[in-house]
Structure 1
Amino acid sequence: MTAADAPRVLIIVQNLPVPFDRRVWLECLALRDVGYDVTVICPQGRGTGAFQVIDGITIRAYPPYAPGGSALSYVAEYAYSFTATAYQLARVRRAGRFQVMQACNPPDIFWPLAKLLRRVDGTRFVFDHHDLSPELYRSRFPEGARLPLRGLYALERATFRTADRVTSTNESYAAIARSRGGKDASRVTVVRTGPDPDRLKPAEADPDRRRGRRYLVAYIGVMGPQDGVDLALEAANIVVNQLGRTDVSFTLIGGGDSWDDLVAQRDRLGLQDYVEMPGRVPDEYVISVLSSADLGLSPDPKNPLNDVSTMNKTMEYMAFAMPVVAFDLRETRVSAADAARYVPANDVELFAKEIVGLLDDAETRAIMGKKGRERIERELAWQHQRTGYVNVFDELTGRRER
């Protein structure tokens, strides 16, 4: 098959730039490797341009919109993103029709574009189900108005109805696609966001990452209102200022809506010397920190969204053979199994004590880390998820039958 004959796939993602969105980037590479021509429309990352071709993947990006944190600001953000995406779509379609369009959520707003492409070009639609938008709203705005929530349920239903196939990140999400979304089980495929163990693996530890202390505790992930980084900071405060453990450094990597507030919280707690918060950093920095850390934190609090969501950071810690401390969430247990210690929901004091207990037990840390790495290699790695994902596209384009 020549490049001109390759089936074209369009992937739309709104909440993260590509290739920073690891799941979407692994999906892009998987499709490329079996002969698809992949184009991505997404927001621009820091320091990147509007047009890039990376490893054969075409990326068309638009300037990001920074939400203000209120429900109304998200409405404005999504309206802007839909318009910017539609504009980029009009441009990339000039090169020819797309056989398949994939939209990732949140938000659940791109189904009208899928309907338009289906009507004009016969394009099939894959809904890559990353998040539960109604539960996300309930978690961020527990006292929020009911009208926006009803609107989110309506948008979700429209997305499910429009989709030819749904790829869900775990069994909990797949069950929602079948029940709330009304999708037949044959049209729903679980594609977990498994890390690539060949890329994410322990390297040589860098003692400087510990900043002169015996232990290093790490966090990597988004820093939004529902991600629990504020709870991680409270736990660090207990570890350092109440339990007197001045032999522990913390490095919390990532950015998001709450980053500025979290830095201010750290400073109020007097933890500037103990907690490093560098924001989003290059992969080399992440690998260096995770290779040097003694354990990883998954402080996501129990709420309607987190309890049924798969946390990518948990599996990334496992890929680096790190034990995990997490709140007791249903899908976190499915992912981590014996590689994590589980703390009753949102109990920060017990979370802090579990951190200290594991730091003081090197033998248990080693056993848990080994189990986590083995679980990634044998069951959860992207290589075990990739085939099911590619099969969805092969079925929709008729390539599997041929």
Structure 2
Amino acid sequence: MKRILILVENLPSPFDRRVWQEATTLRQAGYEVSIICPTGHGYELRHEVLQGIHIYRYRLPVEAAGAAGYAIEYAIALAMTFALVCKVLFTRGFDAIHACNPPDLFFLIGGFFKLFGKKFLFDHHDLNPELYEAKFGRRDFFYRLMLRLEYLTFRTADVVISTNESYRRIALERGRVAPERVFVVRSGPSLERMKILPSDPRLKCGRRYLVGYVGVMGRQEGIDYLLHAVQHIVKVSKRMDVHFGLVGGGTSLDEMRQLAESLGIAEFVTFTGRIPDADMLAMLNTADVCVNPDVANDMNDKSTMNKIMEYMALGKPIVQFDLTEGRYSAGSASLYARRNDSTDMADKILSLLDDADLRSRMGALGRARVVNKLAWDYEVPKLLTAYKVLWSTTGSTTRRQEHQSTGAG
């Protein structure tokens, strides 16, 4: 029986939905699976076994806020991860490392253990160079460093999993990975998890409509644009019948609460912070419209957002800024506001709230698209195929491909 060790730094398992779906899928396919990840709220145990999967967690003593903070966080995470990798090696063992970014540093661990015959699969979750630019607004030494680390990660990997076609092109062009080693495995929602349930009118706080959001509260998520859209709806359009339920935690949560206060709209917005799945589902099932205010930038334009497909799985019509992968995912299930235009987003939200038939049609189209094409069940064969190719790779084959690719560049 093959043994897989999954490395993830930015979220604990099983809270990280994509990682947990991959882990349980591999376990069901007959693999032994271990995960190394940080602790988090509700996931403080350093070791536990869930559904036959061993989870090893470490505590991060710092929460990154700036470039220096991220450097410290990632250095600590890398050291703690390596220590736990050694622990797993001498207890449960592993035949392959499945590394999820950010950060693009796990190639150091993967490359080290490749010297001892272990396989290394890179699961490409985020475009770190674009993410750095989105957070800090510059292309400096650290941006160029991000590009270099990304390249080294691609070159070290035996197989690459991309979350969409945009990421696959990055692997082929920037990473110079052989096409037959790159597989698109989308983060499709699980229909067992994203269940359509009765609404809870209490979540509307006495108002007629509820607009829902679930996701991270960070700078590139555009929550400030959404709050300015709320201000337009309340102060300019004079609509007092709409409430907004925002689910999720993150480094900008307190800042966004303060912004809502300063804009005079705090009574129209509920910030839940990170909450259990049952409460998140209650909010989304109650919502009349769901929103995705992700900032229009290179990072978000190329990224597939889990929240969009989760909205669709619940049959909810969507309003979002017009981004390439967002439009691919949602299609006709969404209205598309002009990029980074909070007023246009507000107008699109109101147009949907005032047209029940359109909401119903769009919600049905989104639900059907998930059921017939985008659900996680459709990604399972692709993940297992990637692993079939992983086991077939040899050191000589990988080095030969690297030499040919580098020469072609």
TM-score range for the pair, normalised by the shorter chain length: over 0.9
User: Is 2:31 the partner of 1:31?
Assistant: no
Aligned to 1:81: 77
Q: Aligned residue for 1:93? A: 89
Which one of 242, 245, 248 corresponds to residue 248 of structure 1?
242
Partner of 1:56: 52
- Say which SS state the counterpart of residue 267 (structure 2) adopts: coil
1:119 to 112, 115, 122: 115
User: How far 1:215 moved relative to its partner?
Assistant: 0.2
Further displaced range: 390-399 or 147-156: 390-399
Note the alpha carbon deviations across 1:163-185, whole angstroms, 9 max, x for none.
Answer: 00000000000011000000111
Matches within 5 A, 1:3-402: 6-47=1-42, 48-120=44-116, 122-143=117-138, 146-397=140-391
Note if contact 1:130-1:169 (Cα within 8 Å) is conserved in structure 2. Answer: yes
Q: Deviation per CA, 1:330-363: give whole Å up to 9, x if none.
A: 1101100000000111011010011111000000
Residue by residue over 1:310-348, the C-alpha shift from the partner in whole angstroms, topping out at 9 and shown as x without a partner, is 011111100110000000001101100000000111011
**Preserved CA contact (<8 Å) 1:194 1:380:** yes
Runs of 4+ in 1 over 2 A off after TM superposition: 64-68, 394-399
Distance in 2 between residues matched to 1:68 and 1:166, nearest whole Å: 27
Aligned-partner Cα distance in 2 for 1:66–1:244: 43
Computed over aligned residues only, the root mean square deviation of the Cα atoms, in angstroms, reads 1.2
Compare 79-88 and 236-245 and name the one that shifted more. 236-245
CA contact (8 A) 2:88 2:94 kept: no
Aligned 8 A contact 1:231 1:348 in 2: yes
Deviation at 1:395, TM superposition (A): 3.1
CA deviation vs aligned residue, 1:271-323 (integer Å, no higher than 9, x gap): 22210001000010011111110011100011110011101111110011000
The CA distance in 2 between the partners of 1:396 and 1:300, in whole Å, is 34
Q: Aligned equivalents of 2:258 and 2:384: distance in 1? A: 44
Aligned-partner Cα distance in 2 for 1:87–1:266: 43
d(CA) in 2 for partners of 1:322, 1:66: 37
Decide whether the 8 Å contact of 2:60 with 2:76 is kept in 1. no
Q: Unaligned 5+ residue runs, structure 1?
A: 1-5
For residues 261 and 96 of structure 1, the distance between their equivalents in structure 2, rounded to whole angstroms, comes to: 43
SS, match of residue 273 in structure 1: helix
Residue 96 of structure 1 and its aligned partner are, at CA, apart by 4.6
Identity of counterpart residues, as a percentage? 44
The match for 1:3 is none
**Deviation string for 1:228-270 (max 9, x for gaps)?**
1111111111111221111001000001111111111112122
- Letter of the 1:7 counterpart: K
**Matched-pair contact (CA < 8 Å) for 1:100–1:393:** no
Query: Is contact 2:213-2:291 (8 Å) kept?
Result: yes
SS at match of 2:9: coil
Segments of structure 2 that go 5 or more residues without pairing to the other structure are 394-409
Q: 1: distance between equivalents of 2:61 and 2:364?
A: 41
Change (3 A) 1:66 1:259: farther
Task: Pick which of 44-53 and 311-320 moved more.
Answer: 44-53
Compared CA separation, residues 44 and 288, structure 1 to 2 (3 A): same
How many residues of Structure 1 are paired with residues of Structure 2 in the alignment? 392
Q: Is 2:159–2:389's contact at 8 Å kept on the other side of the alignment?
A: no
- Classify the secondary structure of the residue corresponding to 2:85: helix
Shift of 1:366: 0.3
Provide, for residues 2-21 of structure 1, a one-character-per-residue CA deviation record: whole Å limited to 9, x for no partner. xxxx2110000001111111
Report the TM-score, using the length of structure 1 for normalisation. 0.95
For residues 75-131 of structure 1, the C-alpha deviation after alignment (integer angstroms, 9 at most, x for no partner) is: 1111011011011111111125311111111110010111111112x1111100001
Cα deviation, residue 143, structure 1: 3.2
Offset, 1:141: 1.1
Aligned equivalents of 1:396, 1:141: Cα separation in 2: 36
Contact kept in structure 1, 2:163 and 2:185, CA below 8 Å? yes
